A and B are shown apart, each in its own frame.
Chain A
Amino acid sequence: MRKHVRHLLAGYVHGTLSPRQRRQVARHLADCPACRAALISHEGIMRDLRDGLPAFGQPTRPQLAQMWAVIRGRLAQPGPTRLPMAGLQVLGAAFGVLITAAFSLSVLFGGTAYVAAAPPPPVPAEIRATATPIMTRAPESSRTQLHASPTAIVYNSEPIPAASPAPIARW
């Protein structure tokens, strides 16, 4: 079945297709009346645009005269006041000096306030209590003391067998 080239026709009439696409369209147009008809329609639109748009929205003489009167009037007024570039630079430098001075004074005479305003020092992260007790061996020196710890400490004088999924029998 022939593959129509309608989607390429606008590009074809505007000359924006690649050479390979142009050849493909030309070959197809040679034996497809439907695409040839569509091409005629595209060419008609292009002709209308080319002939019609240069004259589209032509201003009238009174319009041009009125616009010029407005433009001349606005040009006669002083333009928007702007600080000259040199003035801006001076202003920026003065602002920078002020900020630096304020910072230095706050450090020299308001040290406490400055320290108070500083972020708090980092604290050790809390040890998260685990739901599952962890079996550990406590050191010999601390066997008689109980330590408050989020982890459970199990005292056992006997050696702990290797971890095993099977229950450990005690005799």
Chain B
Amino acid sequence: MNRPFPPDETALHALIARGLRGDQEAFAALYQAVAPGLYRLAYSILLHPEDSEDVVQEVLVYAFRNLKNFDPARGTFRMWLYTITVSRCRNARRRRWLPTVALQSLIGLGHEPRAPESSNPEAAIARKTAYESLERAMMTLSPRLREALALRYGQGLTYREMAEILDCPQKTAESRVRLAHEALRGAMAGFDESLLEELGVAEGGF
């Protein structure tokens, strides 16, 4: 499984050390290294661009002010940041009592999903369609299940790392991923039926 977050923990530690000495450029470099991953995590959980931006800003202001509290012996820097991000996303959800999904994204107005750019128009359309399908599928899940999928597939964490961040037993983390998977499959029931028909399988089997 790929790890989109910069895996070079040593380089991050060097930046942290510079930041602790008051080097402002180190903070900028740290931001560039971690912000995209944190935003993706926040967005995968909240599905709301502005709330995700707020969360990333809160997390990094807190982290940069409390760099001295980061203890490498207790875990990696990214694990520390992920833990704070998940916690802040939960707070953001509590603040917003109404849906965690922006209305405009539900009705397809205003906010356009940010599909990866591509020079080939056909490929770009295909990617955008896939992206929109994924976003719709994520909307059908509860925030807890989105957290599990975002950490497992979005950030490439192990179940053990997930359990640490979500503050739950490893079996619970595994169950959440499995439940999310089953919920997505339920949401895509139409696809299953067509697949079964294609394979010539009688539907009464289940």
Contacting B at CB under 8 A, from A30-51, are 32-34, 37-38, 40-42, 45-46, 48-50
User: Could you say which residues of chain A place their CB within 8 Å of the CB of B134?
Assistant: 48-49, 52-53, 56
State whether the Cβ of B70 lies closer than 8 Å to any Cβ in chain A.
no
Q: Which residues on B sit within 8 Å (CB–CB) of A147?
A: none
What is the chain B residue whose CB lies nearest that of A59?
B39
Within residues 170 to 206 of chain B, which ones have a CB less than 8 A from any CB in chain A? 174, 177-178, 181-182, 184-185, 188, 191-192, 195-196, 199, 201-202, 205-206
Please name all residues of chain A whose beta carbon is closer than 8 Å to the beta carbon of B177 when the two chains form the complex.
14, 16
**Taking chain B's interface residues, is the majority helix, strand, or loop, or is none over half, making it mixed?**
helix
Selected from B44, B57, B116, B201, the residue in CB contact (under 8 A) with A37 is B201
A interface SS class: helix
Can you list, as one digit per residue, whether each of A55-88 has a CB less than 8 Å from chain B (1) or not (0)?
1111110011011101110110001000000000
Closest to A50 in B: B153
Using a CB–CB cutoff of 8 Å, the interface residues on chain B facing chain A are 1-2, 4, 27-28, 31-32, 35-36, 39-44, 49, 52-53, 56-57, 60-61, 64-65, 114, 116, 130-131, 134-135, 138, 149-150, 153-154, 156, 159, 174, 177-178, 181-182, 184-185, 188, 191-192, 195-196, 199, 201-202, 205-206
